[in-house]
Copies of this chain bind each other. A is one copy, B any other.
Amino acid sequence: MMSSMTHAVPAAPAGAVPDPSPDLLQRAASVRRAAMGLGQCGDAERRQAVLAMAGGLDARRQEILAANQADLEAAAADGLAPALVARLKLDAAKLEAAIAGVRQVAALADPLGRRQLHTELDQGLVLERVTVPLGVLGVIFEARPDAVMQIASLAVRSGNGALLKGGREANRSCAAILAALQQGLAASAVDPGVLALLTSREESLGLLRLDGLVDLIIPRGSNALVRFIQDNTRIPVLGHADGVCHLVVDRAADLEQALRVALDAKTQYPAACNAIETLLVHAEVAPRFIPAAVAAFAAAGVELRGDPAAVALGVLHAATVDDWSAEYSDLILAVKVVADLEEALAHIATYGSRHTDAICTTDPQAADHFLAAVDSAGVFLNCSTRFADGFRYGFGAEVGISTQTLPPRGPVGLEGLVTYRYRLRGEGHVAADYASGARQFSHRSLPL
């Protein structure tokens, strides 16, 4: 027994994360109270509320664009990197698209009140499992003003409050957007207090310690940001730190198809987490596949880094051991020749991040073995890893991609923002009657 160890319990993960301030605790509790009201609103009310949020953005376009302009000027004065400036920038067209996105969220099917289980335990004693909101989301993202609009609308659509913390370079933009969203909500059945903006670094650190007030943290940002959050909170985190995806070219692959898939999976959007980082080529087909791949990837501007066997077949650069676990997020691809499918599986088990891994093969046995043995959120056959995405999966929205083992994993739509509750309705039923044998359970399934 370990109970004697309880004296050594630290109050929370130690380290850099300070206690939340009284002000933050009070604000979070206030969002939570408002969210409890939101959670009891019906589908139509929440749908209306999201449309009202879009209306609020419509009405305050000028203020939002002006605030963004001020953020951009401050960023220019601070010498912010061009890639970050591009994300920070919110012009009229981007704002228009974001408002249209909010209206699309309003149109999504209601994730709440879905009955997942319905069982008669005995006459007059009926059990249901129904979906309910999580409560309050904590969302931490980089300086991308459009993320505020998207996540706030997903939160309200799914009945959840949200504490939103954007990168500080976007503070003016985020504040203007939040004011517009709250102005919209004020004309709806939903309390504008369901949304709150955090602005300081202390607040975003404090958010990690709001156990009991925040139910899920959604980080949108760099791998380092996600890992820091995962390591410093006991609140569940929806997200993934790494996306080291593989494509296996099996000995029975259609090599032309495999090359087309490999090019798409690497180059269609190399910065995405579902782009491949490593190509594993079966030794039997490597002498035919690799020379063709070297030419095609060179034409696409991709740098290949190979193991000795791949280099012997024409790959220009030698890979080091670090390449097998690298997430390049760039036009670079590691290439390794494997003796057989087992070696490919072992490589993926060792270096993969359990995000999405694919095989190209025409051999049904090899396909089935790969799909059963690779323990990733997505296992693909004869198609690009780039399909691992909530919109492409048909979810209508994506709140994140999770690489954890427990559900939800893979691309997560609105269902990632809900949980369930058991409801049991009786007529004075007591457990003693079943223990004594006076009554028996029927456990009869009822229609959902």
Contact = CB atoms under 8 A, between A and B. Distances in A.
A393 B3 contact: no
Nearest to A434: B392
Nearest to A386: B431
Given A2-B225, A2-B228, A383 B16 contact: no
6 contacts: A9-B227, A39-B372, A216-B405, A264-B432, A378-B424, A394-B441
A428 B258 CA distance: 7
Given A405-B135, A422-B410, A424-B378, A384 B8 contact: no
A222 B407 CA distance: 27
A263 B433 CA distance: 13
Given A1-B225, A12-B231, A127-B393, 6 more contacts: A2-B225, A3-B222, A6-B227, A125-B387, A260-B428, A380-B424
Closest 4 CB pairs of A and B: A383-B426, A8-B16, A264-B430, A386-B431
A379 B421 contact: yes
A375 B435 contact: no
Interface in A202-225: 204-205, 215-216, 221-222, 224-225
A393 B122 CA distance: 10
A234 interface: yes
A376 B421 contact: yes
Q: Oligomeric state, in number of copies?
A: 2
Interface string A1-38: 11101101110111110000000000000000000100
A428 B1 contact: no
Interface residues of A, number: 100
Given A135-B405, A432-B264, A393 B422 contact: yes
Contacts of A380: 423-426
B10 A231 contact: yes
A151 interface: no
Contact of A407 (B167, B228, B419, B430): B419
A268 interface: yes
Contacts of A406: 134, 215-216, 236, 419
Q: Which of A3, A232, A260, A443 has the most CB of B within 10 A?
A: A3
A78 to B, nearest CB: 13
A230 B234 contact: yes
Given A393-B119, A423-B379, A257 B428 contact: yes
Contacts of A9: 15-16, 227-228, 231-232
Interface in A336-387: 367, 371-373, 375-384, 386-387
A429 interface: yes
A409 interface: yes
Contacts of A168: 1
Given A236-B406, A426-B380, A430-B261, A268 B6 contact: no
Interface in A54-105: none
Contacts of A215: 405-406
A193 to B, nearest CB: 17
A125 B386 CA distance: 13
A225 B1 CA distance: 8
A228 B6 contact: yes
Given A15-B10, A15-B14, A121 B428 contact: no
B231 A405 contact: no
Contacts of A119: 393-394
Given A268-B432, A428-B382, A431-B384, A394 B443 contact: yes
A394 to B, nearest CB: 4
Contacts of A377: 421-422
Given A2-B140, A426-B382, A394 B10 contact: no
Nearest to A373: B40
Contacts of A424: 378-381, 383, 387-388
